[in-house]
Each structure stands twice: as structure tokens, then as C-alpha cells.
Amino acid sequence: MDKQDFPGWHGTTIIGVRKGGKVVIAGDGQVSLGQTVIKGTARKVRRLNPGGHEIVAGFAGSTADAFALLERLEAKLEASPGQLQRAAVELAKDWRTDKYLQKLEAMLIVSDGADLYVITGAGDVLEPEHDVTAIGSGGNYALAAGRALMDSDMDAEAIARRAMAIASDICVYTNGNLTVETIAR
């Protein structure tokens, strides 16, 4: 089967919101193959605890690829305890230059409760300007909704939940079955 003949895995919306001394990362639970929903209860947001330093990570893209990246991130964090930015940059450098890692198709949003980053296979470690970031098929919808809600009285979790609800109403590859993790520093 030629790669272009395979419909591919689509879906996922992950949002990260930093407000009021907390960071919330939320993700939907839908996994789709082409136009078919394969699973509606996937967990795409996880807590990691490398070296006793808690991290929350959400991923979009291939699950196996995301888990490979999360393992690499944990190793980088164990080598540089408590230094999320350094670990993220080291992961991004490896991802861009390592022939095995270059084939991985995923993106990550990570936070230690203070910092919030998007890590991409293009070698990017991006910190959002407006304390909201989102990835995945419904990422642009969640990002727009989250940014619009940042000036409201809502806390980080309420913003993330509302933005995800809006994204799930618009994006057919996103559902309302959320995993939400909060981390404070």
C-alpha cells in the first residue's frame, strides 16, 4: 500500500493555558482513521515526573511517535533536572538532526507550571506570547477561542475547557471527551 493511499490518522486538539499562576493542558479523546472515529477516549495529556520534577505534556500526531518523544524528553529532563527549557531545546535539536527522530510525526505542548512550550519536529521550541497555545487539527479554533477568553474572569481551566468545547463544535476530528491536567509552580 502506498503511503498516499492510506487515509492516515487525523485528529486531536491540545490546548495549553497559563493564567493566575497555573498552567492547564487539555486534550480531546478522539482518534480518527480517515473519516471513521476509531476511539473516543484516548488520553493525550500526561503527567511526567522525571527526577522528581513534575511536567505535564500533551501531544498531537502519531501516538507511537509521541510516546517516543516523551521518553526522549524524560531522558533530557533527567540529565537536566528542573530545566524544562534546556531539555526542550535539546529534544528539538535531536529531533531535527537525528535521522530516526526526523521521521516522527507529532507535536508536544509541555509545561512545568511556570514555562509553557510547543516543541516541533522542525526544531522549534515556541513559548506563546499570549499565554495560550494549541496544536492539532482543531488547534487554531481552540487557540482563537482561548485568546478571546483570556481577558475574562475565567481561570485557566475554565478557559481551556471552553476553548476545547468550541473547537470540538467546529472540528470533526475533535470530541468533547477531555483530559485536563493542571500544574502550578
Per-residue pLDDT of the chain (185 residues; tens, 9 = 90+): 344 443 444 578 999 999 999 999 999 999 888 889 999 999 999 999 887 889 999 999 878 888 888 998 999 999 999 999 999 999 988 888 877 677 777 889 999 999 999 998 788 999 999 999 999 999 999 999 999 999 999 999 999 999 999 999 999 999 999 999 999 98
Question: What is the per-residue burial (b if ≥16 Cβ within 10 Å, else e) of 6-43?
Answer: eeebbbbbbbbbbbeebbbbbbbbbbbeeeeeeeeebe
Catalytic residue positions, numbered: 12
The x, y and z cell numbers of residue 31, run together, are 482518534
CA distance 185 to 181: 14
User: 59, 14 in Cβ contact below 8 A?
Assistant: yes
- What is the pLDDT, as a whole number, of residue 41? 94
CA distance 50 to 73: 9
DSSP 33-97: ETTEEEES----EEEE-GGG--EEEEEEE-HHHHHHHHHHHHHHHHHSTT-HHHHHHHHHHHHHH
- Residue 129 vs residues 49, 55, 63, 77, 116: alpha-carbon distances, Å: 26, 20, 28, 24, 10
CA distance 179 to 57: 11
The x, y and z cell numbers of residue 39, run together, are 476511539
CA distance 56 to 59: 10
CATH architecture of 3-172: 4-Layer Sandwich (3.60)
Does this model's pTM top 0.85? yes
